[in-house]
Structure 1
Amino acid sequence: MLKKWMFTFVLLLVLPLSVVAQDIPERPTTAGFVFDYQNVIDDAVEAEINEIAKRLQEEGKMELMIVTVPTIGELEPYEYGMKFFREWGIGDAEKDNGMLIYITTDMGEGNNVVRISTGYGMEGSYPDSETQRLIQTYMKESLKSGDYTSAFANVVEAIRVKEDIDYTWENDGAVIEEMSENTEESEETLFEKITGIFFTIIGILFFLIMAGVALLIAYVVLEGIFRRLQGLFYWIFEAIFRKDIRSKGYIKYLENKKQEQKKNKARKASGLYYDNHYDSSNSSDSYSYGSGDSGGGGSDDRF
């Protein structure tokens, strides 16, 4: 009787953990790159996505996996993606060039997950900003409307264009072709916008710097001219009227300035002059920063 109660107690402890730790599907034994467990991708388009993924692998670009599942349970999207990478071994062992794109279908509107996970070797070409762009530009709207086929076809086409893989779609040709053209145009437009903004900022900074330099030069020149005219006026007035009209304060200021200049010369000559200049290369307060590994990356969103 005691053993029965102990077994029941242990079962109650383990059962919640098994619910929270959502299992992923077992590693497939059949060849392929698309595993539509929820049967939401059109079969003909699925076959073409498989073909593109095959060519990506054959040309050493990446190992792309497409998966649809009902839910990720209580796991975070990145944790669920990591489980796939570990248990399926996605990507070449040496290149670590795996990419996983998965979605959930049964977590409810606004809670379903789309995630793109990448291996270490993909972070150069597909940093988090790029994987987020792929989701937002090519998948999000189609997923929200329930068009899973277009979502996967569009993102795979964007990857095909980026990786320069030769392939012509047979199914949904007009949609894919239009998307492909928009992909190239959007990339060009984005580059043009960034370039335009960059040169605009550079132009503004250059104008401000030149305006500042011009104002400084004008100030120095005008101040010198004013001082000379002022001195000339004082000299003429004193020569005519035999009287120095300069204020006592101004005269004292000139005398103090001359004395300070003499003191500075004397200090420099004796080596006691203090130059208040900070040299960062000789400072003991400078910092050196290290860098670390972030591991595989990726991005996700809800729909």
Structure 2
Amino acid sequence: MKKIKNVFVYSIMVALTLMLAYLPVKAAAGIQAPTREFYVNDFAGLLSNDTKQYIIAQSKLLNDKTKAQVVVAAIQTLDGNSIEDYANEMFREYGIGDKSQNSGVLILLALQEREVRIEVGYGLEGAINDAKAGRIIRNLGTPALKEDNWDMGIKTMYTGVLKEVYAEYNLAEPGDLDDADIQEGFAEEDYGESSNGGSWITIGLVLFILVIFLRGGGRGGRGGGFFGGPFGGGYFGGGSFGGGGSFGGGGSSGGGGASGKF
């Protein structure tokens, strides 16, 4: 019985490893390297120079004060990928946010699919949880984006994110922060669960079942770590799936945030 149990556990772990290795590959093929400005990556040619300069200046100031990084990207198409997978992989490839704090945010717009996503690093998920990210998209971005007003839609979402980050660090907002189009605070509406991709939900469920299996029926057995044996400290040890990007501070995302259509 014990041998069968071990075979089952290792089979599940191998399957999960393959799933995690495959998910980013779907999006990686279409991801472009960041621009020299890093904070603005307008591959779809949607933004005016004034908006680009505003984002670059404000993001540099935020980074200097907190080490947090907020990056904006606009692409032509997702090339068949979900925006959740694409944003997560772009976040990882760019290494957005401080590596030790995972304090990054990516605002991604896909023009052809008319979708937008706010991807949040682990370190800022308390400041911008999934529900709040959804409200920023719906209340600040969607109205202008539906009218193809890219500058206003992206700028107001970006500024809304920036305000939340400054609040998280208990810092005063810069005097030149353009928040004229942003109402103070967001309504505490229940938008339900955000869309983080069914693939990640599936992985979470499998991991949960595996934990229950490992903790049950182990009478008299050794305690050991969460993933002992050949898998301990390997793919599943530690904190996140990303990290180590060569462009930003090396931050990573665990898939938190929200997506929306416009």
**TM-score normalised by the chain length of structure 2:** 0.59
2:44 corresponds in structure 1 to 38
1:131 corresponds in structure 2 to 133
Deviation, 1:144, is 0.8
Q: Does the C-alpha gap of structure 1 residues 54 and 167 become closer, same or farther in structure 2, counting only changes over 3 Å?
A: farther
1:165 aligns with 2:173: yes
For 1:21 and 1:34, the matched residues in 2 are separated by 19
CA contact (8 A) 1:127 1:298 kept: yes
Structure 2, gaps ≥5 residues long: 1-24, 167-171, 190-238, 241-253
For 2:163 and 2:27, the matched residues in 1 are separated by 39
Deviation, 1:19, is 8.9
Q: How does 1:17-36 map to 2 (within 5 A)?
A: 22-28=29-35, 30-36=36-42
Deviation, 1:148, is 0.6
Q: How does 1:89-108 map to 2 (within 5 A)?
A: 89-107=95-113
CA contact (8 A) 1:22 1:75 kept: no
Aligned to 1:82, which of 70, 78, 88?
A: 88
Deviation, 1:90, is 1.3
Q: Does the C-alpha gap of structure 1 residues 117 and 44 become closer, same or farther in structure 2, counting only changes over 3 Å?
A: same
Deviation, 1:96, is 0.5
For 2:57 and 2:151, the matched residues in 1 are separated by 15
For 1:21 and 1:160, the matched residues in 2 are separated by 27
Deviation, 1:302, is 1.4
For 1:138 and 1:56, the matched residues in 2 are separated by 21
For 2:181 and 2:87, the matched residues in 1 are separated by 27
Q: Does the C-alpha gap of structure 1 residues 61 and 158 become closer, same or farther in structure 2, counting only changes over 3 Å?
A: farther
For 2:48 and 2:71, the matched residues in 1 are separated by 16
1:54 corresponds in structure 2 to 60
Kindly provide the CA deviation profile for residues 201-240 of structure 1, in whole angstroms up to 9, marking residues without a partner as x: xxxxxxxxxxxxxxxxxxxxxxxxxxxxxxxxxxxxxxxx
CA contact (8 A) 1:116 1:298 kept: yes
- Secondary structure of 1:100's aligned partner: strand
Q: Does the C-alpha gap of structure 1 residues 302 and 93 become closer, same or farther in structure 2, counting only changes over 3 Å?
A: same
- Secondary structure of 1:179's aligned partner: coil
Structure with bigger RCO (C-alpha 8 Å, 6+ apart): 2
For 1:19 and 1:118, the matched residues in 2 are separated by 20
1:209 corresponds in structure 2 to none
Q: Does the C-alpha gap of structure 1 residues 74 and 95 become closer, same or farther in structure 2, counting only changes over 3 Å?
A: same
- Secondary structure of 2:73's aligned partner: strand
For 2:27 and 2:69, the matched residues in 1 are separated by 29
Structure 1, gaps ≥5 residues long: 1-17, 170-175, 194-292
Compare the two structures and name the one with the higher helix fraction: 1
Q: Does the C-alpha gap of structure 1 residues 140 and 93 become closer, same or farther in structure 2, counting only changes over 3 Å?
A: same
Deviation, 1:143, is 0.8
Aligned to 2:74, which of 48, 68, 75?
A: 68
Kindly provide the CA deviation profile for residues 243-278 of structure 1, in whole angstroms up to 9, marking residues without a partner as x: xxxxxxxxxxxxxxxxxxxxxxxxxxxxxxxxxxxx
Q: Does the C-alpha gap of structure 1 residues 77 and 178 become closer, same or farther in structure 2, counting only changes over 3 Å?
A: same
- Secondary structure of 1:51's aligned partner: helix
Q: Does the C-alpha gap of structure 1 residues 73 and 89 become closer, same or farther in structure 2, counting only changes over 3 Å?
A: same
Deviation, 1:36, is 0.9
Q: How does 1:149-188 map to 2 (within 5 A)?
A: 149-162=151-164, 163=166, 164-168=172-176, 176-180=178-182, 182=183, 184=184, 186-187=185-186
For 2:85 and 2:27, the matched residues in 1 are separated by 12
Higher Cα Rg, which structure: 1
Q: How does 1:1-303 map to 2 (within 5 A)?
A: 22-28=29-35, 30-60=36-66, 62-107=68-113, 112-162=114-164, 163=166, 164-168=172-176, 176-180=178-182, 182=183, 184=184, 186-187=185-186, 190=187, 295-303=254-262
**TM-score normalised by the chain length of structure 1:** 0.51
Percentage of identical aligned residues:
24
For 2:33 and 2:161, the matched residues in 1 are separated by 26
Q: How many aligned residue pairs are there?
A: 173
